[in-house]
Amino acid sequence: MAQIKDEKQYRAVMARIDELFFETDENTPSGDPRLQELDVLSALVEEYEQEHYPIETPSLSETMKARLSENQ
């Protein structure tokens, strides 16, 4: 499978995903090529983001601070 190699490609793929998102909806047939393209591009973005923008598990203190601020 192809890969997103840099930030420029990442932005281009994200722009295409935005286009496809607004061209399709829940009534679009599952065999529609736009949905298939959207699936492939989404997988590529997910892989790129996991490598370049990882979301780390918050520490206990960060979690407690977030909970306390939610309750105020």
pLDDT at 20: 97
Predicted structure pTM score: 0.75
Whether residue 53 contacts residue 45, with contact meaning beta carbons closer than 8 Å, is answered with: no
Whether residue 23 lies inside any domain: the answer is yes
pLDDT at 1: 62
Q: What is the pLDDT of residues 33-56, one digit of tens each?
A: 999 999 999 999 999 999 999 988
Print the domain residue range for 30.
Answer: 7-70
Average pLDDT rounded to a whole number, residues 24-40: 95
Whether residue 34 lies inside any domain: the answer is yes
Distances (CA, A) of 64 to 36, 55, 56, 61: 41, 18, 16, 5
Token representation of residue 47: 């892989």
Q: How many domains does the chain fold into?
A: 1
Q: How far apart are CA 13 and CA 39, in angstroms?
A: 12
The mean predicted confidence, pLDDT, of the chain is 93
Q: How far apart are CA 24 and CA 34, in angstroms?
A: 7
pLDDT at 2: 86
